[in-house]
């Protein structure tokens, strides 16, 4: 079977199994093993132990459960809520301030856990219903939570960035630094859009936006709110700074984050044994699912690579006789389409080892291409009809919020994220300036 026909068969099987609702990791691994057995025979099973070793014994990937555990401890102890309250307190009484604070808190929660779902679920459960009850435009309320929650994969320490670095043998520290300016640019663009749209159309947001029960009144309450929120933010900077400065590896910095989260919860009298157990159980559940997905996707990717898909893609791109930047744009379109049907982890694991060597051979920096991939995924998972982030938001939205409401709410924010992607593609120094300045 030729590689072209094999690719069609594999992708066709993926679509069928995903449509049937099969678990992602088992579907990818099972498809690769079934098709591989029919084409290779018993020799296929040599791929399994090597994939298992490279997947589960990768030192960088050990950071994933630590970052997730740190985020669980901070959010379950209430320090994540304190970040929301601190942001709202600092912004004050301005039109659209609650929407702006949602973007700020989502970015900080994303920095804590590095995944999309946490930002959407946490900020949505805290702020969505009060925003709607306070008279916020439904599309604006849904859109800012969706856009802010997606920032979890763009702000270090991002789990997909760690996966990209591990699968392409690139520096995690450089990836984190490369994403910081695009992440800041995205936040500024989102905040500017909210502020300008509320200014032009005051009906979108009431002027008084404090949340009853969440806004501190006395100086002591305000001090505690700022203390807890800023302490969590300081922990994030310590975790990130330990990687960038070379003091700690990503895995070691994850351990620092866990210890710091425990110490903060104890120091602020928020720690309970039940919290410790609940955070550990939820982390174990998320990591177990992620590891199965990671293993299945790695088996699929390795089998496809060994069959020569990278050469096929390289030959195809060369035959098109297109300028190198057009090849990069083509890769972006492919990943955007994949984001309609699969989540961010699978896109990274499937596309990073396939597209990155080709981008490097065309003369592009792998860190630049990796950040473009993360920006692209950020857009893809928010794009109707099947973007995963849409269903996260639907899960915590009031019953009267339809999928149609959610689809309509994301359009302007998807366009803003696309603008940032285009800017980073047109001006690579937006991505490369900071890692080159800090790490050379």
pTM greater than 0.85: no
Count Cβ atoms below 10 Å from residue 238 Cβ, excluding itself.
15
Q: Please, are residues 377 and 182 in contact by the beta-carbon 8 Å criterion?
A: no
Burial label, 212 (beta-carbon count in 10 A; 0-12, 13-18, 19+): exposed
Q: Is the peptide bond before 157 cis (omega within 30 degrees of 0)?
A: yes
pLDDT at 213: 45
Half-sphere exposure of 364 (CA within 13 A, CB side): 26
Q: How far apart are alpha carbons 28 and 430 in whole angstroms?
A: 35
pLDDT at 426: 92
pLDDT confidence bin for 40, thresholds 50/70/90: confident
Sign of the torsion formed by the C-alpha atoms of 266, 272, 273 and 275: negative
pLDDT confidence bin for 140, thresholds 50/70/90: confident
Burial 20-53 (b: 16+ CB within 10 A, else e): eeeebbebbbbbbbebbeeeeeeebeebbeebee
Half-sphere exposure of 221 (CA within 13 A, CB side): 8
Give helix 366-380 / helix 159-168 axis angle, nearest 10°: 140
Q: Where are the beta strands (DSSP E) in 288-394?
A: none
pLDDT confidence bin for 361, thresholds 50/70/90: confident
Q: Please, are residues 67 and 253 in contact by the beta-carbon 8 Å criterion?
A: no
Q: Please, are residues 152 and 115 in contact by the beta-carbon 8 Å criterion?
A: yes
Look at residue 368 and tell me whether its pLDDT is greater than 80: yes
Count Cβ atoms below 10 Å from residue 394 Cβ, excluding itself.
16
pLDDT confidence bin for 211, thresholds 50/70/90: very low
pLDDT confidence bin for 212, thresholds 50/70/90: very low
Read off the pLDDT of residues 338-359 as tens digits, 9 standing for 90 and up: 776 666 777 787 788 888 988 9
Read off the pLDDT of residues 142-199 as tens digits, 9 standing for 90 and up: 888 888 877 878 887 777 888 888 888 888 889 989 999 999 999 999 999 988 888 8
Q: How far apart are alpha carbons 207 and 191 in whole angstroms?
A: 16
pLDDT confidence bin for 126, thresholds 50/70/90: low
Q: How far apart are alpha carbons 203 and 200 in whole angstroms?
A: 9
pLDDT confidence bin for 424, thresholds 50/70/90: very high
Question: Structural domain boundaries of the chain?
Answer: 1-57+298-307, 58-271+308-439
Count Cβ atoms below 10 Å from residue 98 Cβ, excluding itself.
27
DSSP-derived secondary structure for 68-80: HHHHHHHHHTTHH
Nearest partner of 433 among 376, 365, 344, judged by Cα: 365
Query: Could you say which DSSP state residue 210 is in?
Result: P
Count Cβ atoms below 10 Å from residue 284 Cβ, excluding itself.
13
Q: How far apart are alpha carbons 406 and 404 in whole angstroms?
A: 5
Q: Could you give the angle at the alpha carbon of 387 between the alpha carbons of 382 and 388, nearest 5°?
A: 100
Give helix 63-76 / helix 79-91 axis angle, nearest 10°: 70
DSSP-derived secondary structure for 223-255: HHHHHHHHHHHHHHHHHHHHHHTTSS-HHHHHH
């Amino acid at each position: 079977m030729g590689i072209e026909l094999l690719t069609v068969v594999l992708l066709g099987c993926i679509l069928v199994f995903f449509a049937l609702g099969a678990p992602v990791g088992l579907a990818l691994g099972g498809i690769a093993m079934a098709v591989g057995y029919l084409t290779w025979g018993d020799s296929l099973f040599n791929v399994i132990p090597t994939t298992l070793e490279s997947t589960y014994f990768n030192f960088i990937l050990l950071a994933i459960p630590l970052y997730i555990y740190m985020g669980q401890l901070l959010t379950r102890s209430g320090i994540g809520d304190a970040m929301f309250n601190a942001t709202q307190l600092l912004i004050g009484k301005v039109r659209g301030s609650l929407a702006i604070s949602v973007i700020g808190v989502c970015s900080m929660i994303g920095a804590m856990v590095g995944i999309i779902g946490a930002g959407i679920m946490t900020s949505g459960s805290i702020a969505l219903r009060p925003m709607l009850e306070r008279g916020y435009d439904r599309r604006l309320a849904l859109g800012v939570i969706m856009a802010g929650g997606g920032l979890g994969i763009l702000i270090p320490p991002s789990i997909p960035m760690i996966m990209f670095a591990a699968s392409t043998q690139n520096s995690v520290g450089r990836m984190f630094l490369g994403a910081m300016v695009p992440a800041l640019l995205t936040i500024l663009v989102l905040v500017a859009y909210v502020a300008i749209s509320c200014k032009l159309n005051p009906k979108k947001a009431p002027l008084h936006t404090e949340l009853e029960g969440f806004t501190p009144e006395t100086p002591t309450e305000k001090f505690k709110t700022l203390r807890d929120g800023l302490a969590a933010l300081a922990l994030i900077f310590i975790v990130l700074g330990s990687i960038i400065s070379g003091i700690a590896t990503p895995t070691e910095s994850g351990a620092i984050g866990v210890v710091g989260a425990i110490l903060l919860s104890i120091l602020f009298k928020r720690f309970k044994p039940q919290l410790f157990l609940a955070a550990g159980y939820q982390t174990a559940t998320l990591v177990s699912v992620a590891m199965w997905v990671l293993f299945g996707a790695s088996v699929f990717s390795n089998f496809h690579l060994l069959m020569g898909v990278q050469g096929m893609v390289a030959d195809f791109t060369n035959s098109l006789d297109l300028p190198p930047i057009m090849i990069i744009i083509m890769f972006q379109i492919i990943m955007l389409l994949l984001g309609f049907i699969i989540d961010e982890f699978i896109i990274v694991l499937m596309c990073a080892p396939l597209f990155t060597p080709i981008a490097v051979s065309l003369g592009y920096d792998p860190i630049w291409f990796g950040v473009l991939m993360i920006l692209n995924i950020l857009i893809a998972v928010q794009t109707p009809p099947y973007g995963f982030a849409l269903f996260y938001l639907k899960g915590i939205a009031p019953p009267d919020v339809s999928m149609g409401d959610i689809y309509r709410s994301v359009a302007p924010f998807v366009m803003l994220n696309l603008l940032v992607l285009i800017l980073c593609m047109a001006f690579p120094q937006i991505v490369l300036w900071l890692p080159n300045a800090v790490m050379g």
